[in-house]
Amino acid sequence: MDRFSSFDGVGIAYQVWGGPSALPPVVLHHGFVVDATVNFVGPGLVGALVEAGRQVVALDARGHGASDKPHDAGRYGEAVMARDLGCLLDTIGTGTVDLVGYSMGAVVSAIFASGDPRVRRLVLSGVGAGVAELGGLDTRVMPPAEIAAVLLTSSPTAVEASPAAAFRVLADAIGADRVALAAQVHAAHRSPIALDRITAPTLVLAGRDDELAARPEVLAGAIPGARWRLVSGDHMTALRAPAYAPALVEFLAG
């Protein structure tokens, strides 16, 4: 695992798999709570891309995985993470990438692709209409205050009673820094994203039962020329759907 110092001095960890090929590297940006290994290696997506001849690069977002974890909400937000993504591309010295973002990472990727011409092809996954209508993850499904509260509470009873309990269970299971995660919740992006400025061919790829990715056609409709596709599964299982990896590999090969 390699590291770089981002624009504000926060250390960001990243991994590289496979060697250079005729196509640009595939850069992966994971979702909230987890890291690149949990989000992309475990479900077999990195392996599928490398087997298809692609070089793959994935970072751990600030506050996650092996990257630095400041506790100040001012150091977070998907727009800040998009700047980290730009620093990653500068670090690996590539002129063009194929970019894949899942959930929180999809918001980061949409922000980045709306203002940086280095994205050749774009996949936004684990998200739907919320990105177009709210400027981020769909807070109508899960209010941020609920997530922050369950991450910070010391009461097992409160965790059990919370509609956001799954976030706490996952954070505890992987040993995440819950204070850092709560800081990201407080800073989550909630302003319009210039989706109409995205010029890369785009695929919106979502699980059919994923409430956080409801109405992916709305998001696709806000991005010029974008297409959308459903696979089986919900927010936690769509990445392991039999059709997910082939859809990803096929689209990025274009």
* Statement: residue 92 has pLDDT above 90: yes
Indicate whether this model's pTM tops 0.95. Answer: yes
* Statement: residue 85 has pLDDT above 90: yes
How many residues belong to the chain? 254
Complete edge-to-edge strand list for the sheet that includes strand 202-207: 2-5, 11-17, 56-59, 26-29, 97-102, 119-125, 202-207, 227-231
Q: How far apart are CA 254 and CA 230, in angstroms?
A: 19
Are 80 and 187 a contacting pair, CB within 8 Å?
yes
Summarize the confidence of residues 120-129 as an average pLDDT: 98
Residue 120 phi, psi dihedral angles, 5° rounding: -85, -50
Instruction: Give the pLDDT confidence score for residue 199 in this predicted structure.
Output: 97
Mean pLDDT of the chain: 97
pLDDT tens digits, 163-182? 999 999 999 999 999 999 99
Rg (CA), the chain: 17
Instruction: Give the pLDDT confidence score for residue 244 in this predicted structure.
Output: 98
* Statement: residue 254 has pLDDT above 90: no
Summarize the confidence of residues 76-91 as an average pLDDT: 98
Q: How many CA atoms lie within 13 A of 57 on its CB side?
A: 25
